[in-house]
Amino acid sequence: MGFIYSKRVRAGKNTSINVGNSGVSVSKRTKWGSFGTRGFSIKTGVPGLTFRKSYGRGKNALPMLLLFITAYATIGISYLIISNIFRFIIWLIGFSVSKIAAMFKE
């Protein structure tokens, strides 16, 4: 088992230059993972417990990136649709109650 050298140098907001045994690379970190010149990785985790898996190198990076972007977009759009349906149902119940109350007032 040999020694592994790794150093990350900040080059701007969420951008780093990474120096290691295998060479130099540039990466951009987001809350979902990091995207760089050697592929990208997705992070999910609980504070203190993190799972990190690298996906794609070279040719395989773009299809995987598009897959994850599509998944996040689908989840976001689904959330918007479901939340608006619930807001409409709550509004409809309130509107109906106010109309029924107005009928009994007359």
Q: Which residues of 38-62 are buried (b: 16+ CB within 10 A; e: fewer)?
A: bbbbbeeeeeeeeeeeebbeeeebe
**Residue 13: per-residue pLDDT:** 86
**Residue 57: per-residue pLDDT:** 58
**18 and 43 assigned to the same domain:** yes
- The domain of 100 spans 59-106
Q: Are 25 and 41 in contact (CB under 8 A)?
A: no
Task: Report how far residue 38's alpha carbon sits from residue 24's, in angstroms, rounded to the nearest whole number.
Answer: 10
Number of structural domains (the chain) is 2
| pLDDT over 70 percentage in the chain | 71
- pLDDT level of residue 4 (50, 70, 90 thresholds): confident
**2 and 47 assigned to the same domain:** yes
**Residue 100: per-residue pLDDT:** 92
**68 and 102 assigned to the same domain:** yes
**77-91 residue pLDDT tens:** 999 999 999 999 999
